[in-house]
Amino acid sequence: MTVKLYQFCISHYCEKVRWALDYKAINYDTVNLLPGQHVKSIKKLTRAESSVPVLDHDGQVIQGSAQILDYLEQAFPERPLTPENPALREQILSWETKLDELAGPAIRTWVYHYFLQRPKVVIPLLAAGTPFYNRFMLSLAFSRVDEIMRNWMKINQKTADAAQQTLETLITELEAIYRQQPYLVGEQFSRADLAAGALLAPLFQPPQYPVPWPKPAKIPKPVQAWLQNWQPKLEPIAKLYQQHR
């Protein structure tokens, strides 16, 4: 049996899949790709979109974090992340979809808006897990990389401000729930909790995450100030991550 995960180390959607694989104790190999250069490799696998994560299980190719979790639940049913109870299952999948559609893009937009202004800080994150020379390549082509990423993800001050508001609303809602109960839905850890912890992980920078997190002083000041103010609300999510990751 061969399981390969094609990923960006920095991607929080890829972290969802890494966590699920580790949680289920599935042996897998990672193929770390460089953003931009990944397009040909991924399209060759999927014959479609170039987004990551992509899982290859003995030639069975699945793209997208939610779709991969669906597949893992069927192919590797041990330690399930999705309950059989229909009502609980619906609530859990609803939370995962909400987090995928709100938290994922919001963090990406907000963080990159500021980090792309600090090439020396963001390049090691983008190139994490790939050969060392990719840092030099990104440095030489960074103005173009910045332009492509901003255009592709529609990143600007206006969208960053909207993304920040989305994050604040969502984190406030999650904190209120986790202060009252250990899990988002039901009495067991599920893919809803996994999605919350994985997608929000860049905000509390856990050591298990396979990137060289920048030192606090190197984080752009608007992000640094926000993180300091919001760490208390992120604390229950960070605790959940540490307990189950």
Question: Is residue 167 a contact partner of residue 110, using CB atoms and an 8 Å limit?
Answer: yes
Task: Give the residues across from 91 on adjacent strands.
Answer: none
Q: How far is CA 54 from CA 46, 60, 200, in A?
A: 8, 10, 20
Q: Which of 52, 75, 98 is the last residue of a domain?
A: 75
- The better pLDDT of the pair 44, 240 is held by 240
Statement: residue 228 has pLDDT above 90? yes
Q: Domain total for the chain?
A: 2
- CATH number assigned to the domain comprising residue 226: 1.20.1050
How high is the pLDDT of residue 48? 82
Same domain as 228, residue 109: yes
Same domain, yes or no, for 52 and 133?
Answer: no
pLDDT average, residue stretch 87-93: 98
Question: What are the pLDDT digits (tens) for 8-32?
Answer: 999 999 999 999 999 999 999 999 9
Identify whether residues 29 and 129 lie together within a single domain: no
On whether both 129 and 230 belong to a single domain, the answer is: yes
Indicate if 113 and 197 belong to the same structural domain: yes
Report d(CA 102, CA 12) in Å as an integer.
13
123-137 pLDDT, tens digit each: 999 999 999 999 999
The reported pTM is 0.96
Q: Are residues 121 and 230 in the same domain?
A: yes
Q: Do 127 and 209 fall within a single domain?
A: yes
- C-alpha distance from residue 158 to each of 26, 101, 150, 207 (Å): 42, 19, 12, 31
Instruction: Kindly report, residue by residue over 41-87, the tens digit of the pLDDT.
Output: 898 888 888 799 999 999 999 999 999 999 999 999 999 999 999 99
Residues 235 and 144 in one domain: yes
Residues 109 and 226 in one domain: yes
Domain extent, residue 38, equals 3-75
Distance between CA 197 and CA 47 in Å, rounded?
Answer: 31
Residue 80 falls inside a structural domain = no
Average pLDDT over residues 106-115: 98
How far is it, in rounded angstroms, from Cα 225 to Cα 31?
35
* pLDDT over 90 percentage in the chain: 93
d(CA 222, CA 164): 11
